[in-house]
Structure 1
Amino acid sequence: MCKATSGFYFAAIEAVPRQESLRQLGEALGRHIGSPGSIRFANWDEAIDALLALGKDRPLPVVLDEFPYLAQAAPELPSVIQRAMSPLREERTESRSRIMLCGSSISFMGGLLTGTAPLRGRASMELIVPTFNFRAAREFWELDDLRLAALVYLILGGTPAYKSEFLRGVAPASLEDFDDWVIDHVLHPASPLFREVRFLLAEDPTLRDTGLYHTVLAAVAEGNCTRGSIASRIERKATDISHHLTVLADAGLLTVEPDAFRQNRSTYRIIEPLVRFYHSIIRPRFAQLEQARPDRTERIWKVAQPRFRSAVAGPVFEHMCRSWTRNMAAEETVGGMAEQVLSGVVHEPSSRTSHEVDLVAMEDDGSLLAIGEVKWGDTLGMAHLERMEKIATILTARGQEPKVIVLFSATGFMPALEDAAAKSGGRVQLVGLERLYEGE
């Protein structure tokens, strides 16, 4: 954007002292304006005013990237910018510079505009750049085979840099090539993806004692999704990890979702597929993989397949299906506008049993639209529909009758189930990979 508009771009460097940061900024600004020498700033007040002066004649983007590094070296910098942007200052009123503060630490950047932070009320835009959804990721990776596109997404999600920067565009050529691609480019210790999740936590300045944060993420990856079960798995009290769960959520690594049917019960989920893959597949075998020969790595990956299907593919595919239901499905498909798409547990008092529901679509007022089951590796048949019909009966008795039952499968549906869906008048919807990627 800066190149296209002749704007100014400056990327900070970690652990650089205050005066060195000012010197580097002065050199970059000097090159930008064609100065015969570098520009020297005595302090950040002078530097920010110089950046505002760039936009004296026209609107101009002025980007300070990796802003957390600058703020670490100069903690007063947010306050300096606040003062520079005071409404009556001539430097502000005569400037059309668009100061853009950027950084990859979601928790740090979000904190700049909250509560009593100096920049609270000064920003005209707060933009969190999301990763690609699974459809956009398929286009970005240029994968025609839908199952192959889904497999790549199950591991790497929608982060563009994993293709363009980490792998230099190397993608699996076919389904037959997928396992070799994982072995050579994800599980290989020389691949930048191999240690990426470690660096994700290390680069966030708000995280301390990253070992415990990794342990919490590993517990969630193992299927411990409630605060109590996570605490039990890592042998801590639930109150001891409250802060860690909050920080991981603020950092964009965990999300907490309410149970659709049970009040005061929430579920924690790992957001990034690579984080889930790392803690499910790589971290438990890190030492082995770090020293393994290619044939040994191939054996490790083969043995890890059941774990991959249950701990990685299943949960990530559920997320894909919930995203499709909320953002891509037609209203006719789910019986209305799905404002919330959650999961939940339905308790059956008569038998004292509980039934997990992978997908629960609701309107904004909480009215139930649809319930669904999601399977990555199973071909669905009548038994799956009968289970969902039983849950629908329980909910109907409570006055929460679902309009639609949606069954998702990455491997397909048995003929008897397809016939039942065709005769249901739209009440039973079947969603395979083709519909997930290309339909509504």
Structure 2
Amino acid sequence: MTQSRREFASCPWRRTGIEAETSFLSFQSALEYVFKLSGKKRMVLAIDEYPYITRSSKSLASTLQLLIDKYKDTSKLMLILCGSSMSYMEDHVLAYKAPLYGRRTAQIKLLPFDFEETCRCFRRFSDEEKALIYGVVGGTPQYLLQIDDRLSVEDNIKKTCLNPASPIYEEPANLLKQEVREPAIYNAVITAIATGASRMSEISSKVGEDVNVCSSYIKNLLTLGIVQKEIPYGEKTSKKTIYAIGDNMFRFWYRFVPENNSIIARGAADLAYKRIAPHLSDYMGRTFEEICRQYLWELLLNKKSPVQFSFLGRWWGTDPKKRSQSEIDIMGEQNKDTALFAECKWTNEKVDLGVLEKLAERSNLFTHQNKYLYLFSKSGFTRGCIEKARKRGNVFLISYRDILKEFQL
């Protein structure tokens, strides 16, 4: 047999029984052909970007419903429907009134890579650069593909987020247009949150809309996963509710790009970065908190945690003794007697004894008998802090390097 004939015989469409240049007059005839073929052997049909196809063929969902019901007892087909528009997939595929409701055998919501997985994408970056990149673009693979670990973080930011020709530059705005009808107001709400407005009244004031109006927009952003709702740890409902951007790419873009838009449009990426750079350490604070949470979950899953928590969250409220606001970066409970409390510092200075004493003081706002204190630091700890932690016995001093070791990075 000649090489060309061997290649012909091994082609995927030959193995499925579909002849070359086979054409169909409709989606229904094409799909029914596949359903019939799968009656003989196991086959997989993946339809990518399902929402786009259904917009061009309004009857596709009903056609699939008909064929699934018709061939459910004879077909060995595994049908996979993929879609990047989360709202469409939830409303038109998973929802009770959707034609395909009740016909799925599984559903997967693909989440971005976590910090550990993101780090494994880049071998050339320094340890600190890996955290910075995670803070800038998050763990979405498509965004990570735009990053070049042969360049510095600064150059990567200039090449992607501060470059109008970059695929990432307009990505947040384009994704928003895909999901909502009034992107202008949504953009204003997200920008308000990204630049420091966390409470509903603050967001409303920045956007210039009534609280009730902003509330409806935020509700949709919560559904899309762009915004996260937070309440103090241990409270089910609270007037202290705050809002934050859930995706790192969105958070970085809306924090820094809109205010530098005119500069970026003129190709002055260097100037834009100089304005951004002084704020990066402060911006990374929230990213480091998330990395520390992932570390604590890693300890729990590896049976190394002294506290068997089921949830981690932030706490904030009033210190009755000082009559002032107080905050704990991370808190988790095993039961009413045992809990952990953590403080996270992404700074170039070593964490000193004062930070440990403040965390211990804030933990005393709670009545747990067994308290474990975690201090997380980018740059290590002072001698006084280390000695005090050793004397107390319930304190864990975790450097950023320790986190990387736990993740085996």
TM-score strictly above 0.5: yes
What is the CA-CA distance between 1:264 and the residue it aligns to? 2.0
Give the counterpart letter for 1:318 in structure 2. E
Distance in 2 between residues matched to 1:371 and 1:55, nearest whole Å: 55
Distance in 2 between residues matched to 1:358 and 1:60, nearest whole Å: 49
Deviations along 1:264-309, one digit per CA (max 9) or x if unpaired, are 233322122111111111111111111034xxx3233122223333
**1:171 is matched with which residue: 139, 144, 149?**
149
Contact 2:46 2:79 in 1 (8 A): yes
What is the CA-CA distance between 1:137 and the residue it aligns to? 0.6
Is 2:409 the partner of 1:439?
Answer: no
Q: What secondary structure sits across from 2:79 in the alignment?
A: strand
Q: What secondary structure sits across from 2:287 in the alignment?
A: helix
Contact 2:295 2:406 in 1 (8 A): no
TM-score (norm 2): 0.87
Is 2:274 the partner of 1:307?
Answer: no
Deviations along 1:31-56, one digit per CA (max 9) or x if unpaired, are 98224442222xx4434322322312
Give the counterpart letter for 1:386 in structure 2. E
Distance in 1 between residues matched to 2:193 and 2:253, nearest whole Å: 12
2:4 is matched with which residue? none
Deviations along 1:220-262, one digit per CA (max 9) or x if unpaired, are 1122223333223212222212222222122221222332044
Is 2:395 the partner of 1:428?
Answer: yes
Ranges in structure 2 where 5+ consecutive residues have no aligned partner: 1-9
2:386 is matched with which residue? 418
Is 2:41 the partner of 1:58?
Answer: yes
Contact 1:172 1:181 in 2 (8 A): no
**2:95 is matched with which residue: 114, 120, 125?**
114
2:197 is matched with which residue? 224
Contact 1:254 1:268 in 2 (8 A): yes
**1:97 is matched with which residue: 53, 77, 100?**
77
1:39 is matched with which residue? 24
Pairing 1:36-435 to 2, within 5 Å after superposition: 36-41=21-26, 44-86=27-69, 89=70, 91-111=71-91, 112-143=93-124, 145-164=126-145, 166-167=146-147, 170-173=148-151, 177-204=152-179, 207-265=180-238, 266-293=241-268, 297-310=269-282, 312-329=283-300, 334-363=305-334, 369-377=339-347, 378-395=349-366, 399-401=367-369, 403-425=371-393, 427-435=394-402
Distance in 1 between residues matched to 2:301 and 2:388, nearest whole Å: 21
Q: What secondary structure sits across from 2:397 in the alignment?
A: strand
Distance in 2 between residues matched to 1:32 and 1:287, nearest whole Å: 57
Change (3 A) 1:68 1:99: same
Contact 1:189 1:289 in 2 (8 A): yes
Contact 1:281 1:307 in 2 (8 A): no
Q: What secondary structure sits across from 2:253 in the alignment?
A: helix
Distance in 2 between residues matched to 1:60 and 1:402, nearest whole Å: 56
What is the CA-CA distance between 1:212 and the residue it aligns to? 1.2
Contact 2:336 2:368 in 1 (8 A): no
Count of residues paired in the alignment: 393
Distance in 1 between residues matched to 2:265 and 2:133, nearest whole Å: 22
Give the counterpart letter for 2:33 in structure 1. A
Change (3 A) 1:282 1:39: same
Change (3 A) 1:65 1:366: farther
What is the CA-CA distance between 1:148 and the residue it aligns to? 1.4
Q: What secondary structure sits across from 1:201 in the alignment?
A: helix
Contact 1:261 1:345 in 2 (8 A): no
Change (3 A) 1:80 1:307: same
Change (3 A) 1:307 1:93: same
Distance in 2 between residues matched to 1:303 and 1:394, nearest whole Å: 40
Change (3 A) 1:75 1:230: farther
Contact 2:17 2:37 in 1 (8 A): no
Deviations along 1:35-78, one digit per CA (max 9) or x if unpaired, are 4442222xx44343223223122211101110111222334432
TM-score (norm 1): 0.82
Q: What secondary structure sits across from 1:80 in the alignment?
A: helix
Contact 1:67 1:103 in 2 (8 A): yes
Q: What secondary structure sits across from 1:417 in the alignment?
A: helix
What is the CA-CA distance between 1:368 and the residue it aligns to? 5.4
Contact 1:61 1:100 in 2 (8 A): yes
Q: What secondary structure sits across from 1:93 in the alignment?
A: coil
Contact 1:334 1:369 in 2 (8 A): no
Change (3 A) 1:341 1:143: farther
Change (3 A) 1:85 1:330: closer
Percent identity over the alignment?
A: 22
Deviations along 1:333-387, one digit per CA (max 9) or x if unpaired, are 6532221111011321233212011111134x67752111112125311111111
Contact 2:161 2:253 in 1 (8 A): no
Change (3 A) 1:331 1:346: farther
